[in-house]
Structure 1
Amino acid sequence: MSKKSKAMNGLQYIILTILSVISVFPFFWMVIAATNKSVDVTKGTLLPGTYFLENFNHLMESDLQYFQAFKNSLVIAIVTTTLAMVVSSAAGYAFEVYKSKARDRVFNIVLLSMMVPFAALMVPLFRLFGKFNDIPVLKLIGLNTSGSVVIIAVATAFLIFFFRQNTKTFPKELIEASRIDGLGEFKIFTRIYMPTMKSTYAAAIVVTFMTSWNNYLWPLIALQSEEKRTLPLVISAMGSSYTPDYGMMMTAVVLATLPTAILFFVMQKQFVAGMTGSVKG
């Protein structure tokens, strides 16, 4: 290896190290802040303290109902992710496998929905879900219910597009062979397609769970009672107080980060494979 190549490699490592430090520093500071008093956090200390348990106890004793919000977020994220995997993957699979004259037109309409900002949909959605409360059959997805947060994330344009694009790499010979063997379309989807595309599902699960877990705007509008609030709403309320306790707030943020961090690290390899379009498990 020439001196010029060594110099270039050394420069790349230095740049990557600097970028890594910049990326990790906010998380590092968050963890450090969770172990210090609020006054130490405001001073900008970067040394770990001994007040994590005290901050945790303050969080438990507060009237924020933190763990109720944690439970609400967990239930909403799990249900949303489960339903989204079934509905969106089925839609993406159908758009790619079943051919018709109107298929591409419908799919283009679905993609166009990604261009509409959510801010433009807030008022129509609020009025629509408000009417659901007056219909007995639809009360489960009316305003101030977890269903109202789940239902709008079950089938998204991004997930349908993501599954359709990954289905292009799915060997169609498997479908034809399964049909010859007498398998119905439902069994082909559940027994052949889903196991083969588990890397794609893993990537979609990580993205959907994290999006649902961090969702703030629609729950802020739809969930109107304190016992229904999710974690982003509770953490936002902590920061909007007149004298926020930054130590307690950072403790709440650290605890709120754990589920998504654990999910990502557990499914990291499958996530990378799924995002690159691999159909291998």
Structure 2
Amino acid sequence: MKKMKVSKIGAYVFLSIICLFSVFPFYFMIVSSTNMSVDIIKGRLFFGTHLFENIKTLASTVRLGNAFWNSMRNALANTVVSLLICSLAGYGFQIYRDKGKDTLMGLLLLSMMVPFAALIVPLFRLFSQAKLLDTTIGFILPTISTAFLIFFFRQSAESFPLETVQAARVDGLGEVGIFFRIFVPIMAPTFAAAAIVTFMAAWNNYLWPLIIMQSQDSQTMPLLITGLTAGYTTDYGILMLSVTITTLPTLILFFTQQKRFVEGVLGSVK
């Protein structure tokens, strides 16, 4: 019994240390947003009184509201379209029978080995000729269908009862109705998990917006943060404040949907 208690205490101590290391960057980010640049450089770890000054300076230096709206609009559009297309593809791969579907899925998974950086030049030329630069459509098109999300939905659909589909067909419900009225509600945790992953990836996307979003009006939050470090001197107070503002949407989304996220991930693994 004593050995078990000692091992539990050791496990809790170890997990507490790991938790502190995980939480510290967020704590330092929030604390730094309330301090002056000089205090941040000195490593001040306590809240300061410079928050409102940092907010005023940030608002007068960059177009924060415009960048935040661009990121939110692009991320939401990317998430909605990606969930629709990838869930339909994953559903089709699992529900419908075809000899070549496993081969096609294998090819899709192989496409994950191609780095996105290798596709930037042809994609830019294509989107430039199509006049899709500085547009939401140009932002979301390269990522509206990913092999990872299709595979994720296919794995989750393995737990979906085929008898339900057959019964719905017998009752006269069409394939579109089966998907939207039966599959989507039942697989809600999977959609929540996929939404979190897709939104976070779109919100934090930096490389592709850097290439395609060429005007200040289409600037996103990651590009705005990069611009704050482009001068001769960096105001770390407003930099940390902008990072904190950029982090908030993803934190809120995850903490409000974390239960469904875990359920969705576990469902895909099963």
TM-score, normalization by structure 1: 0.94
Deviating above 6 A after TM superposition, structure 1's stretches of 4 or more consecutive aligned residues are none
Indicate whether 1:167 and 2:144 are aligned: no
The 1-side partners of 2:89 and 2:63 are apart by 38
Which residue of the other structure, out of 229, 245, 250, is the alignment partner of 1:239?
A: 229
2:35–2:50 CA contact under 8 A, matched in 1: yes
The 2-side partners of 1:157 and 1:58 are apart by 43
- Give the counterpart letter for 2:39 in structure 1: D
Aligned equivalent of 1:144: 134
Indicate whether 1:263 and 2:253 are aligned: yes
RMSD: 1.1
Aligned equivalent of 2:192: 202
- Give the counterpart letter for 1:277 in structure 2: G
Q: Once the two structures are superposed, what CA deviation does each residue of 1:193-212 show, in whole Å capped at 9, x if it has no partner?
A: 00000000000000000000
Indicate whether 1:68 and 2:58 are aligned: no
Aligned equivalent of 1:59: 58
Aligned equivalent of 1:250: 240
The 1-side partners of 2:252 and 2:106 are apart by 36
Which residue of the other structure, out of 110, 113, 116, is the alignment partner of 1:112?
A: 110
* Unaligned residue ranges in structure 2 (runs of 5+): none
Aligned equivalent of 2:79: 81
1:81-100, aligned counterparts within 5 Å?
A: 81-100=79-98
1:69–1:234 CA contact under 8 A, matched in 2: yes
- Give the counterpart letter for 2:28 in structure 1: W
Q: Once the two structures are superposed, what CA deviation does each residue of 1:190-237 show, in whole Å capped at 9, x if it has no partner?
A: 000000000000000000000000000000001111110110001011
- Give the counterpart letter for 1:97 in structure 2: I
Which residue of the other structure, out of 269, 272, 275, is the alignment partner of 2:265?
A: 275
Aligned equivalent of 2:174: 184
- Give the counterpart letter for 1:21 in structure 2: L
1:199–1:278 CA contact under 8 A, matched in 2: no
> Which shifted more, 95-104 or 189-198?
95-104
| C-alpha displacement of 1:278 | 6.8
1:149–1:222 CA contact under 8 A, matched in 2: yes
The 1-side partners of 2:101 and 2:245 are apart by 44
1:38–1:247 CA contact under 8 A, matched in 2: yes
| C-alpha displacement of 1:29 | 0.1
> Which shifted more, 181-190 or 144-153?
144-153
Aligned equivalent of 1:11: 10
2:155–2:268 CA contact under 8 A, matched in 1: no
Residue 278 to residue 196, structure 1, CA distance change in 2 (3 Å): farther
Q: Once the two structures are superposed, what CA deviation does each residue of 1:89-119 show, in whole Å capped at 9, x if it has no partner?
A: 0000001111112211211111111010111
Which residue of the other structure, out of 201, 215, 228, is the alignment partner of 2:218?
A: 228
Q: How many pairs align?
A: 269
Aligned equivalent of 1:137: none
The 2-side partners of 1:155 and 1:94 are apart by 14
TM-score, normalization by structure 2: 0.98
1:256 partner SS: helix
The 1-side partners of 2:170 and 2:233 are apart by 69
| C-alpha displacement of 1:240 | 2.4
The 1-side partners of 2:190 and 2:142 are apart by 22
Aligned equivalent of 1:136: none
Aligned equivalent of 2:48: 49
Indicate whether 1:29 and 2:16 are aligned: no
